A = this chain, B = another copy of it.
């Protein structure tokens, strides 16, 4: 069912662009979904992409524009005039239109907005541009279907026909009073089964979920998921209906957030893809690698401080990667559980209880791993004191790493910082350093060098 966009297909399109065979191109792409057009455009070079973009109807390219890779979109938009961009904007819903305009350089923004034909559309877009990223307002669209409580059902149906033409997916009809204050909702289903002499006020459902325009996008996503909503109305502080958020935007939001957390945990700062340039990839990767490098140099400096152990207990130095790896792994595990728990809003209970639990958990895991190390030491005929040093250090390091992994994200979250920064390289690097220090400190106490 999905269009198979293979090499041959792209080659054919390139040929048709080269020979400027517009008719053949239009026929070939007439039935394609904008998302497929976007995928084709992503695979063409900038000139070909711009050519295709200008050739195709803006009804099709406008939706495609939303799906194109951000970098490619920026370049294509640079090749279009303000008027041409405004034509695309005219075809888009207000939320998508505002997203596109927000990406333009400042002076082009005003230019494009002034070129938008429909004044109402332009006004709505300007309104949406005000809302801060990460708020309900930034996800909301102005397109919706609303009914006044005073309407009769036939009036409502005929008004709805007009309104529905403007709205892609209807979902529900919001019911408002004369001051535009949200009262409830009418489901399409209810409207279909209602008798003709009823009023909207007779059949509307007064219970309606809604969010405030300043609510955090994350909370909106959580509420829509929790209550399985496909759209949610957005109101201002006076409860006046401003717009609505639909589930497709939430799907994109959830996916982006998950990818961001995943990349953060993997030590990637920017949103990168396998096909990005080496420079883009390096920009995302190098900062964390440099952090890791400094961590490693710090660990080396710590070992330098315990240099005299080299003569009497050189074997200790064979186990630093083990200690560092365990500290890192435990830290990442603990922080991942906390970061996910915070995202799902199910971190409850007191800090003291959590502290006690983390300590018991890591004591339990640590003892099991310590026993394994002692067994290994017996097999390898290690000096008992060395085995005890290793086993005891493992237990202490694991408890320490678990506490860092648990409480650093919790503290960051309390301070309003994204706790996901405390996953991945950040936690492994700091745990490496502390782990190695603890190891040599315990060794010094037990072995006395």
Contacts and interface: CB of A to CB of B under 8 A. Distances in A.
A303 interface: yes
Nearest to A366: B289
Interface in A209-249: 209-211, 223, 225-228, 230, 247-248
A262 interface: yes
A44 to B, nearest CB: 14
Q: Size band of the A side of the interface? A: 35 or more
B346 A192 contact: no
A209 B31 CA distance: 13
Among A262, A285, A323, A429, chain B packs the most CB atoms within 10 A around the CB of A262
A157 B192 contact: yes
Among A289, A344, A398, chain B packs the most CB atoms within 10 A around the CB of A289
A13 to B, nearest CB: 16
A198 interface: no
A154 to B, nearest CB: 12
Given A262-B336, A275-B348, A318 B293 contact: no
A436 interface: yes
Among A227, A337, A425, chain B packs the most CB atoms within 10 A around the CB of A337
Contacts of A318: 299-300, 303-304, 317
Interface string A287-318: 01110110111011001100100100010011
Chain A contact residues: helix, strand, loop or mixed: helix
Given A247-B247, A319-B296, A336-B268, A365 B285 contact: yes
Interface stretch (A74-82, A97-105, A120-128, A327-335): A327-335
A147 B288 CA distance: 57
A442 interface: no
A286 interface: yes
Nearest to A38: B226
Interface in A319-363: 319-326, 328-330, 332-333, 335-338, 340-341, 344, 346-349, 354, 357, 360-361
A210 B2 CA distance: 9
A372 interface: yes
Contacts of A9: none
B265 A262 contact: yes
A226 B292 contact: no
A267 interface: yes
A133 B161 CA distance: 41
Contacts of A319: 296, 300
A223 B226 CA distance: 23
Nearest to A35: B226
Nearest to A377: B297
Contact of A262 (B67, B340, B364, B365): B340
A282 interface: yes
A286 B366 CA distance: 9
Contact of A211 (B1, B160, B286, B289): B1
A336 B305 CA distance: 36
A293 B347 contact: no
Contacts of A265: 262, 265-266, 336
A226 B2 CA distance: 10
10 contacts: A188-B188, A228-B248, A292-B325, A293-B322, A299-B318, A300-B322, A310-B314, A321-B321, A328-B428, A329-B425
Interface of A: 1-2, 31, 33, 35, 67, 157, 160-161, 164-165, 169-170, 188-189, 192-193, 207, 209-211, 223, 225-228, 230, 247-248, 250-252, 254-255, 258-259, 261-263, 265-268, 272-275, 278, 281-282, 285-286, 288-290, 292-293, 295-297, 299-300, 303-304, 307, 310, 314, 317-326, 328-330, 332-333, 335-338, 340-341, 344, 346-349, 354, 357, 360-361, 364-365, 368-369, 372-373, 376, 398, 423-425, 428-429, 432, 436
